[in-house]
Amino acid sequence: MKPKQLKIQFKNGLGKLPTSLISDRERFTLTLWAYFVENGASYMLENKRRDFSDEYSKGYTNDLPKNITDLNELVRLLRSNLFGVDAELIAGKEIQEQYGRIEKRKKIQKPDTIKVSLGKQTFSFDPYYLADSVFRAYGVEGLAPKKKAVKYSEYSLTKDNDQLMKLMSNFVSTDDLRESLQGVNFDENGVAASDGFKVFWIKGKALDNGLYNPKTSQKIDRRFPQYLSIFPEKQLLSFTVDTKEFTKTLLSLEPSYKEVVKKRFKIKQVVCVLNDGILELIHDNEDYSIDIRLKVKTDYSGPKFVFGFDLVHIKGFLNSVVKLTNPKSLTIQFTQADRGFTVNLPTPFGDSVFLLMPIILVGKYYQSKGEFAMAVNEYLKKETESNAPAKPTANIKILKLKGLAAKAKLKLALI
């Protein structure tokens, strides 16, 4: 009996294999997996297989759909009109295996499997490794059937929100050695992602919990770092720039640089000098005799401040969060040149904080941390004094005394 052909769609098809060439067994496996995903089954990559063998090979495991409590119920589902196949549960047996150069025997408990008959074809599969079967045949594309579109107006903090995952993907790491930073973290404090140089955090209570791949929504068996301790409780200084002017000026650094070096290199380090209401963006490359300097107006009136950052990291923020929210101005907060810079922006998903770690400058652009701290203290002290309520002058005090004396004389005259 052939399984009923449920309507299943995949994000990018199934590689180069047309759907018409999929066999009955493959169609059954893909249809069943689509049902698993649609009803809340999750999957993850694990290092040890479920058969308890001594070989540590990676494989995808999955749980059952939320509406299925055990394997007997799954068998009844397969026999129902939804799938319409002959299925039976095969209990796992305890067997003895011989291994090693010296003959040894080890008892191994084989897992329960489900036997399915499709006409003349009969096969068995492990329901808890259905994801692994799909992955080995069709890769990640097969693991990610096209989900029901999440309306952009919902703005829910969940791994199933495609718009949210697309936004957060701009901040995850691409380094394979940093697996804990390759996903988007969901917890009771909100949603966060980081690549080790920048962190983006949307505040709120997430509907999911754990680390998930932003492209496939697959759960990653890693622990995200304690990111809340990275954000400073208070920043001492700030400056505000016009968003369009700042973005246009910053991004124009790269084309200017490429023209000089004939597009062989990419600009990375940008030096910023903040002084007298002007933010000067500098790229100074002595090897190519390059000295590009562009200026942006700000409202800053504090002491001279020199800092640096990587253009790649700020571009990701400008092309994603800033493009989505489209604010008229950006307020960048800071305390020192070796601490994170923060930008607070409201997004459709909730209030957010972007933190960017600066580049430590050396050589001619080096600024003493102690001298700048002293200058900041003096500046803040003057700001506090200027904002304090004015004290009455001596002339005002004399006028008050004269007024009191006149009132006293009037009282004596009336007596």
Residue-wise pLDDT for 78-113, tens only, equals 888 777 788 899 887 766 655 555 555 666 667 889
**pLDDT value of residue 328:** 93
- Domain end, chosen from 207, 230, 253, is at 230
User: 338 with 380, same domain?
Assistant: no
Cα–Cα distance measured from residue 194 to residue 228, given in angstroms and rounded to the nearest whole number: 12
Cα–Cα distance measured from residue 111 to residue 104, given in angstroms and rounded to the nearest whole number: 22
User: 88 with 182, same domain?
Assistant: no
Least confident of 95-99, 262-266, 319-323, 360-364: 262-266
Nearest to 296 by CA among 332, 365, 242: 242
**pLDDT value of residue 343:** 95
User: 266 with 351, same domain?
Assistant: yes
Is 326 part of a structural domain of the chain?
yes
Is 8 part of a structural domain of the chain?
no
User: 349 with 324, same domain?
Assistant: yes
**Mean pLDDT (whole number) for 141-156:** 61
**pLDDT value of residue 267:** 56
- Computed over every residue of the chain, the mean pLDDT equals 79
Is 98 part of a structural domain of the chain?
yes
Cα–Cα distance measured from residue 5 to residue 24, given in angstroms and rounded to the nearest whole number: 10
User: 51 with 94, same domain?
Assistant: yes
Strands 219-220 and 210-212, by their bridges, are: antiparallel
- Domain end, chosen from 110, 143, 176, is at 143
Does 287 have pLDDT greater than 70? no
Does 158 have pLDDT greater than 70? yes
User: 187 with 127, same domain?
Assistant: no
- We report the CATH number of the domain holding residue 356 as 3.10.150.10
- What confidence category does residue 153 fall into, taking pLDDT thresholds of 50, 70 and 90? very low
Does the predicted TM-score (pTM) go above 0.75? no
Long-range contacts from 324-329, C-beta under 8 angstroms, 24+ separation = 324/167, 324/348, 326/243, 327/243, 328/242, 328/243, 329/240, 329/241, 329/242, 329/243
**pLDDT value of residue 351:** 93
User: 289 with 395, same domain?
Assistant: no
CB 345 within 8 A of CB 325: yes
Cα–Cα distance measured from residue 351 to residue 41, given in angstroms and rounded to the nearest whole number: 31
Give the torsion sign (CA, 337, 366, 285, 195).
negative
User: 203 with 82, same domain?
Assistant: no
Which two tokens mark 205? 């209570």
**pLDDT value of residue 59:** 79
> How many domains in the chain?
4
User: 332 with 224, same domain?
Assistant: no
- What confidence category does residue 69 fall into, taking pLDDT thresholds of 50, 70 and 90? confident
Is 2 part of a structural domain of the chain?
no
Please count the helices (runs of H) and the strands (runs of E) in the chain: 10, 20
Is 83 part of a structural domain of the chain?
yes
**pLDDT value of residue 11:** 38
Is 316 part of a structural domain of the chain?
yes
Q: Give the tens place of pLDDT for each residue, 8-59.
A: 444 334 444 555 566 778 888 888 888 898 888 888 887 654 444 444 466 7
User: 249 with 358, same domain?
Assistant: yes
Does 382 have pLDDT greater than 90? no
User: 408 with 353, same domain?
Assistant: no
**pLDDT value of residue 38:** 84
User: 139 with 76, same domain?
Assistant: yes
CB 123 within 8 A of CB 28: no
Nearest-5° Cα angle at 300, 295 to 303: 100
**pLDDT value of residue 340:** 92
3-state secondary structure of 268: coil
Does 298 have pLDDT greater than 70? yes
Range of the domain at 175: 162-230
**pLDDT value of residue 398:** 52
Task: Name the percent of the chain lying above pLDDT 70.
Answer: 74
- Domain end, chosen from 230, 256, 280, is at 230
Nearest to 64 by CA among 29, 86, 33, 28: 33
Cα–Cα distance measured from residue 85 to residue 28, given in angstroms and rounded to the nearest whole number: 9
